[in-house]
Structure 1
Amino acid sequence: MTFLNYIFSPRLFKVYGDASQKFYEPGGLEKWGDQIIYSLSMMWNISFYTSPLILTFLIRRGCFVAESITSFAKISAGISLIVVISLCMRGIGRSQSKVYTKFAKSLEAAKANSKNEEIKNELRLFDFEFKDWPVDFSVKEHNDAKKPRQVIAARSRPYWISSLPCEIAAYIAIHTFGLRMIYPGSVKLIQNYLHPMLVEGRAKLIENGHAKRYKLLTRDDNEVDSIFVDKRGISANGKTLVICSEGNAGFYEIGIMFTPMNLNYSVLGWNHPGFGGSTGKPFPDQDQNAMDAVVQFAINKLGFQPENILLFGWSIGGYSTLWAATQYPDNKGVIVDATFDDVLHLALPRMPQSLTGIVRIAIRQYVNLHNSELLSKYNGPIFMIRRTEDEVISENMDVSTNRGNNLLINMLKQRFPNIFKTEQVNLVNKMLSRPIEKTTDNSTDQLCLSLLLSYVSENGKSYPVEIGENYTEAQRNQMAEYLVYKHFMDYKSSHCTPLPVEYFQTPWTLPDEDTDFVFT
């Protein structure tokens, strides 16, 4: 190890299995050097996000003159000297630390032997800046990377000279503050604030759940921070893998993984581009590539077949989940919790009405998270969970305005067109205007199930299901209610409350001759 290696090696956060220390405690020189560099980095991040205000202030003060520029140059030179001194302090401190020296040697060995799992397992004893972790899986090394994909990100539309100002404004807005408003978890200031909780969350997954952390390389060269909990051979549920996609400010370290883990499923979590250790930005195309890498890693590296993979998405993670479902339709099923039909309908009420045109262009062109459109291209099993006190995708926590209602109705209309006529859509809208609770009626359930079973035996299990063309209004109403309960459940909670295990259910599928007719 050279002195430069110690200077530019990553920050060490924790040594797993060391009960005497909650976090790695650097020595004096390393601590002060790191603290100065961290403080300067924080100042840079703050100045970046407040740069419009700062520039306006400086211009009004006439600071962009020769004398002021000379002063700025001197200040910059002084800051550069402080950075150099701080780096040297850090390098000296690290070289004198037995713990850091052991970590640095493990890191160098893992980089030199990136395919050696035994050496990597030694490195897994340490939690450190993920940018230096060796790549564990690259999409480009597998044939699946060459298969055609259906990319749904933006809608092509003609450009008109009259709309050019709005087009420019939309581009600037989405590439400055807009994307960060949609995905606040990508803001570095928020990540710095959450950093101790993320380290603790990873420690809980690794030390208690025996998880392993992996770096995945996408087809667009982004790195995906992921973690895997293997329950195969431990429980019956362990042969099923649950891939978890987090919300717009969620991280796998403190996110939805714990619900399927508590049910002893094998679980694979990952962070969106720009979140945690993942690189890039959470634009739809980058998010799709990240999700694609996660699924391919599950199939090609971890050894799970698509039919044994459940896709689980919370909030904006429903988009990632439904996109993966369209690309890997042979999956075991999809579970979406507290998600929406179209992000445009969430964005418009939160922006001034005068900006409606710009917001519409920005969303449709750059962040077109249209879950209903994705779901129309997926015909597999799906289960939806709605939060009855959701303050994010409802207006004033009014359950009748929850955007999950629209996602459910659009899906049912497409899959069962002869059942969901105008009258039945109105009936379901009325049902969804208040919290719903299943009232047991075994005779009605058995009748609906037997009708579906008879239809499937003659026509197969493909959608759309044309059952109900000759039904009476009452029969359609019965079947509509039955299908709502089979695809949908209410949970009395706010948007961010962890999901209890009893709400995590394997999605319902069309019955066949093996269907059990016993109801509880």
Structure 2
Amino acid sequence: MNGLSCSDICCLFCCPPCPSRIVSKLAFMAPEPTYSIIEDSNGRCKLNFNDNADWQYSDREQECIEVFHCRTKRGNVIACMLVRCSLSSRNTLLFSHGNAVDLGQMASFYIGLGTRLNCNIFSYDYSGYGASTGRASEKNIYADIDAAWLALRNRYAVTPDSIILYGQSIGTVATIDLASRYECAGVVLHSPLLSGVRVAFPNTNKDICCDPFRSIDKIHKVVSPVLVIHGTEDEVVDISHGITMYEKCLHAVEPLWVEGAGHNDVELYGQYLERLKKFFSHEINSKDNKKIVT
């Protein structure tokens, strides 16, 4: 099948035919919050996990996590998190996480990943997720990552040539949008999607009006080095999305197709970490890389 049938289109776009409803059907499933941010009498914010966060470390590691709120240009207040895993690294990952998780669930993963990659990790919750206000929408997710980018730049004085954008699943939508407008040290696209309709109907190659999350139209504007990672048995976002994304990148490095991996277990394969280490050490910090204008 190269297009959508009438019944397919009706199923996707009706009840009612509103783009924001399409986005909700295809993408956002915010979990019950797994953490809260408590502000003390001095105005300092503290992270408080609940039992669903599955925090795997001690209080000492939690002291390496800084949390705060920032406001987006659309008026929402989003939760931000800096995980200081390394005092020596020049790199910071700006991590846009996947669907159905929040910062509380991701914190342990960030500690482990940042420690192994010798980098710090900055992340945020989308509007309507975790301790962020508002609701999830396509416009809001773009405003959310803009606010996170500015917070990382201004609050911590991290320059673009030290920032690696990392998007996972729905997080690749925000990541590609930002990377198409700002140059940075590098971009990692983990299980990227081309567009919303192409996820719902993997065999279509037609352009549909009101198709949300059209990363396929933005990826050619990304001038930073791009690493695409995708599982060959991804049951949510078919690997054809990752392959096409790789083919359309201007400056793609060797991709990682993880044989046998699905949508939510790529990180469990040994080649995942090894490929990221190579990207960090040889493909973004190369002496041959041109200076990024800040």
Q: Please state which band the TM-score falls in when normalised by the shorter chain.
A: 0.7 to 0.9
Deviation of 1:254 (Å) = 2.4
Looking at structure 2, the residues matched to 265 and 290 of structure 1 have their Cα atoms a distance apart, in angstroms, of 22
Give CA-to-partner distance per residue, 1:263-298, whole Å, 9 cap, x none: 221111111111111112222211111101111111
For the residue of structure 1 that corresponds to 2:130, the secondary structure is: coil
Among candidates 328, 331, 343, match of residue 196 of structure 2:
343
* Aligned residue in 2 for 1:253: 104
Give CA-to-partner distance per residue, 1:171-219, whole Å, 9 cap, x none: 1x843xx443333432xxx416998455443x84864252011111111
* Aligned residue in 2 for 1:311: 165
Structure 1: which amino acid aligns with 2:264?
Answer: C
Q: What is the TM-score of this pair, normalised by structure 1?
A: 0.44
Structure 2: which amino acid aligns with 1:245?
Answer: S
Identity %: 17
For the residue of structure 2 that corresponds to 1:250, the secondary structure is: coil
Does the 8 Å contact 1:206/1:212 carry over to 2? no
Does the 8 Å contact 1:185/1:191 carry over to 2? no
Counterpart check, 1:191 vs 2:32: yes
For the residue of structure 2 that corresponds to 1:275, the secondary structure is: coil
Give CA-to-partner distance per residue, 1:133-164, whole Å, 9 cap, x none: xxxxxxxxxxxxxxxxxxxxxxxxxxxxxx9x
For the residue of structure 1 that corresponds to 2:32, the secondary structure is: helix
Does the 8 Å contact 2:84/2:120 carry over to 1? yes
* Aligned residue in 2 for 1:439: none
Looking at structure 2, the residues matched to 509 and 240 of structure 1 have their Cα atoms a distance apart, in angstroms, of 10
User: Unaligned 5+ residue runs, structure 2?
Assistant: 1-9, 36-48
Give CA-to-partner distance per residue, 1:434-479, whole Å, 9 cap, x none: xxxxxxxxxxxxxxxxxxxxxxxxxxxxx8xxxxxxxxxxxxxxxx
Does the 8 Å contact 1:272/1:290 carry over to 2? yes
Does the 8 Å contact 1:240/1:266 carry over to 2? yes
Does the 8 Å contact 2:24/2:137 carry over to 1? no
Q: Hey, which of these two has a bigger chunk of strand by percent?
A: 2
Counterpart check, 1:244 vs 2:95: yes
Q: What is the TM-score of this pair, normalised by structure 2?
A: 0.74
Looking at structure 1, the residues matched to 135 and 219 of structure 2 have their Cα atoms a distance apart, in angstroms, of 24
Counterpart check, 1:169 vs 2:7: no
Count of aligned pairs between the two proteins: 253
Deviation of 1:222 (Å) = 0.4
* Aligned residue in 1 for 2:255: 488
Does the 8 Å contact 2:34/2:102 carry over to 1? no
Structural RMSD (CA): 3.4
Q: Hey, which of these two has a bigger chunk of helix by percent?
A: 1
Mapping 1:308-387, distance limit 5 Å: 308-329=162-183, 331-348=184-201, 360-361=208-209, 363-364=210-211, 368-387=212-231
Counterpart check, 1:404 vs 2:242: yes
Looking at structure 2, the residues matched to 512 and 227 of structure 1 have their Cα atoms a distance apart, in angstroms, of 31
Looking at structure 1, the residues matched to 153 and 221 of structure 2 have their Cα atoms a distance apart, in angstroms, of 22
Structure 2: which amino acid aligns with 1:408?
Answer: Y
For the residue of structure 1 that corresponds to 2:235, the secondary structure is: coil
Deviation of 1:403 (Å) = 1.4
